[in-house]
Amino acid sequence: MAIEIPTDLTPELVPLSWLIGSWEGTGRLGEGEVDDEHFFQRVSFTQNGLPFLEYRSETWLTDEQGNTLRPLTVETGFWSLERPMVEADLGPGMVPGDVVPALRSAQDVEELRTDEGGFKIQANIAHPGAISELYYGVIKGPQIHLATDLVMRGTNAKDYASATRIYGLVNGDLFWRWDVSTGGNDLKAHASAALKKQG
């Protein structure tokens, strides 16, 4: 599957461009054992000319045949290269940045490449139940490794300490795995899925 890069894409999103679009597919909770529950997922990564991708995921519990049982959860967030903020960047809040993106060329972006050949990225993801995650990680070609730097929980949120996520493009499909730690426990498999590009 060839990766198409939108012509209006700000340069620093080029390393993330293979994510852009809508994805749908099925997955399993936990390790994917016989008794683990099934789900259907719809994910979108969109861009609007700013230096981040907007992320949205919706999931529904299903039976083994894929029939929808009930809504499961929703996630929303923003993914971007991890780099120092400069005067040209927007914010805080609605303070506008420069008309021209802070990183204006492929060469500007290339200077952020790590010695291992990838790029550092960050993702902040919000969940229902008063939980927000801040991930840092690396994108190298069509592979992403993320680990939480911070998990923010509201007063009545369920116990949740840390997480890792892995994403990869395999034969045009988006595979991912999410491992979670609660309290003092080690990370363990939380969910995984295989998604197909739509359209």
Q: So what's the pLDDT on residue 2?
A: 56
| Mean pLDDT confidence for 28-53 | 93
Judge whether 6 lies within some domain: no
CA 124 – CA 155 distance, rounded (Å): 20
Q: DSSP strand E in 17-100: where?
A: 21-29, 38-46, 53-62, 68-81
Judge whether 91 lies within some domain: yes
Q: So what's the pLDDT on residue 3?
A: 60
Judge whether 72 lies within some domain: yes
The rounded percent of the chain whose pLDDT value lies above 70 is 96
Judge whether 95 lies within some domain: yes
pLDDT at 5 over 80: no
CA 4 – CA 26 distance, rounded (Å): 24
Q: Which two tokens stand for residue 26?
A: 């099925």
149-167 confidence digits (pLDDT tens): 999 999 999 999 999 999 9
Q: Are strands 21-29 and 38-46 parallel, antiparallel or unpaired?
A: antiparallel
Judge whether 177 lies within some domain: yes
Domain that holds residue 127: 11-198
Counting the structural domains of the chain, the total is 1
77-132 confidence digits (pLDDT tens): 999 999 999 888 889 999 998 877 888 888 999 999 999 999 999 999 999 999 99
Burial (Cβ within 10 Å: 0-12, 13-18, ≥19) of residue 45 = buried
pLDDT at 190 over 70: yes
CA 196 – CA 11 distance, rounded (Å): 26
Q: What is the CATH number of the domain that holds 155?
A: 2.40.128.20
Judge whether 47 lies within some domain: yes
Judge whether 2 lies within some domain: no
Judge whether 4 lies within some domain: no
Q: Cβ–Cβ contacts within 10 Å for residue 150, how many?
A: 11
